[in-house]
Amino acid sequence: MNAQIPLKLHIGGIEAKPGWKILNVLIGPNVDFVGDVRNLSAFADQSCTEIYCSHILEHISQNDMLPTLKELHRLLVVGGKLMISVPDLQVLCELFLDPKLSGAQRFHVMRMIFGGQIDAYDFHQIGLSAEFLADHLRLAGFSSAEQVDGFDLFDDTSSFAPLGAL
């Protein structure tokens, strides 16, 4: 993957956007690089100024999480920005236990926890909360983490608020 330097990398994306390159595990019309987020060896050290991962990391096993985050850290230039959106397990657990939810709503929340399971890649292997993710990022070498309501970069689920909960 001969990526130009510097690169804005959208991992798992499908939507083309000027200035961004897409890495996806599946071939698609806007995909620039086909590959798995768990193996970023084709990208050079400090080759990215920004990396965006929306609803990707929950598909990584617990054992692969820290090595994957270390690889993302390796790709970023000093002062680079990593933007991550994942289902928040704490929020989803609180929603699931809400007695006001119908059975169908609770089933929808369960699918957000375990993945929609519509194809071989749509299974969640780890539950992340702001606390868990911040801990993993620190262990991977990131110096700070900030929780935000959304990024407004792509038309995706990064600011999804099912049943009113972000």
Residues 51-104: pLDDT tens digits? 999 999 999 999 999 999 999 999 999 999 999 999 999 999 999 999 999 999
Determine the average pLDDT of the residues in 107-121. Answer: 94
CA distances 139 to 48, 49, 61, Å, are: 20, 21, 16
The rounded distance, in Å, linking the Cα atoms of 2 and 78 is: 21
pLDDT over 70 at 1, yes or no:
no
Domain ranges, ordered by start, for the chain: 7-86+126-152
Beta-bridge partners for 53: 11, 84
The H-or-E segment that residue 8 falls in is: strand 7-11
**Percent composition of the chain: helix, strand, coil (DSSP 3-state, to 5):** 30, 20, 50
In this structure, are residues 72 and 40 in contact, taking their beta carbons and an 8 Å threshold? yes
Say what the pLDDT of residue 75 is.
98
The rounded distance, in Å, linking the Cα atoms of 117 and 56 is: 14
Q: Where are the alpha helices (DSSP H) in the chain?
A: 62-75, 89-96, 103-114, 130-139
Residue 164's pLDDT band (cuts 50, 70, 90): confident
CA distances 118 to 12, 53, 68, 74, 97, Å, are: 16, 20, 24, 32, 25
How does the average pLDDT of the chain come out, rounded?
Answer: 94
Determine the average pLDDT of the residues in 2-11. Answer: 80
Peptide bond into 29 cis (omega under 30): no
CB atoms within 10 A of CB 98: 13
Q: Judge: domain 7-86+126-152, CATH 3.50.50.60.
A: no
Say what the pLDDT of residue 130 is.
94
Any idea what the Cα angle at residue 20 is, between residues 87 and 86, rounded to 5°?
5
